[in-house]
Chains A and B, each alone.
Chain A
């Protein structure tokens, strides 16, 4: 069974600075996707970034980038130039491809607070 671990329950960063959120996962599969979702307080979950396991190049989306280390089964999220609106719970998620359902398996989340 696949598992996703986020070892940082809470993190804090000053506005305009850079922060990295950690995620590790365990799987015996070779084809899968990894995601970071953001869940602001009392608001719905939105996709931040996705990474296909077969791609060696790390995904980037504006201020958000990932460090995908397939051999180490590590998938960290870097947020550059942090903004107050980045304050949220961040979830790392795994999806096995080629399966019947493509369900997401989530970590327990990291609560990020951006301080002014």
Chain B
């Protein structure tokens, strides 16, 4: 068990560029979550996958954001036409299922800075 990994750890981009982040969950976890954390705030839910199906998207996730989880393994989060307001830490978490197994384990995050 190597834990949840995210790549890249840091990304600096210019406004208007597209960026893509990757999350690799714990191998047997079928649930995957994306959260966004801005300075001084707690993480906010963005979207959720159960296996390869995207079952919920927050209203925070504008149409510039898209997430995928092909084959129910790793996930990608893409932001098109980045804006300065997109600057944040993007966190990925995974879990095994319901009850005791619903505890979410977080990755180290990808810190995005949009200039």
Contact = CB atoms under 8 A, between A and B. Distances in A.
A52 B79 CA distance: 36
Contact of A106 (B31, B42, B108): B42
B79 to A, nearest CB: 20
Looking at chain A's contact residues, the main secondary structure is: strand
A95 B105 CA distance: 14
Given A106-B42, A108-B41, A108-B42, A101 B48 contact: yes
Interface string B87-115: 00001010100100011111111000000
Which size bracket describes the interface of B in this complex?
Answer: 20 to 34
B33 A103 contact: yes
The 4 closest A-B pairs by CB, nearest first: A106-B42, A45-B106, A44-B108, A103-B45
Interface of A: 4, 33, 35, 37, 43-47, 50, 91, 93, 95, 97, 100-109
